[in-house]
Each structure stands twice: as C-alpha cells, then as structure tokens.
Amino acid sequence: DAKTTQPTSMDCAEGRAANLPCNHSTISGNEYVYWYRQIHSQGPQYIIHGLKNNETNEMASLIITEDRKSSTLILPHATLRDTAVYYCIVRVEYDYKLSFGAGTTVTVRA
C-alpha cells in the first residue's frame, strides 16, 4: 500500500532550484519522511530525512508542512548530475523497512 504520492516526472532547468513535492496524508506521529534518489545503474542514495522540523544538509533541504501531510525536497541549484528517480518514503523510527513507490523521474536540462 502506497503511503506517499509523488508526481511521475518533472523537468528542471540547470542552475535553478528544483522543488519536488510529496504527499503523505496518512503519516503517523512516529513516522519519518525520507528522500532517496537513484541515478541510472546505481543503488539508491540517501539524501535527507526529517520528522517534523525542516532539515538542510549539503545536498538538499526538506520542508515538512505543519500538519506533516506533505513535504517538499529542494535541490537548491540543480545540475545535470541530479537527473535521477527521487523517492519519498515514510518509515517508523523502529522499523528499518523501506517501502519504495514509483518515485519522481527528475530530468535536469541544460
């Protein structure tokens, strides 16, 4: 059962910010939001995760709405190397299992 909903695909311009939305309207209080991406022929790469506060690291920012029913991953300056499938996943703190949906295919164009 899909816990998250993401757009199937997105195009982004190189050098611009890429904003990737994710809906998780049934998220529970103890579930984190995780973002991974998978570049062609590689394993999924962890990007960022959060519980309720906004988070930022060297790769991206994660904005979680106050009701926690949706979130946005922001890649501040997209490059061609950011072209990948991006997965938004919710997971409880004590259960490591990850349930991958179809994700969003992001294409960064020059």
Partner 1 sequence: SAVISQKPSRDICQRGTSLTIQCQVDSQVTMMFWYRQQPGQSLTLIATANQGSEATYESGFVIDKFPISRPNLTFSTLTVSNMSPEDSSIYLCSVGLGQGGQPQHFGDGTRLSIL
Residue carrying the six token digits 């949706």: 70
Tell me, residue by residue from 22 to 61, as one string, x for binding to partner 1 by CB under 8 A and - for no binding.
----------x-x------xxxxxx--x-x----------
Query: Of residues 3, 5, 52, 101, which one binds partner 1 by CB under 8 A?
Result: 101
Q: Which is nearer to partner 1, 3 or 91 (CB)?
A: 91
Residues that bind partner 1 (CB under 8 A): 32, 34, 41-46, 49, 51, 87, 91, 93-94, 96-103
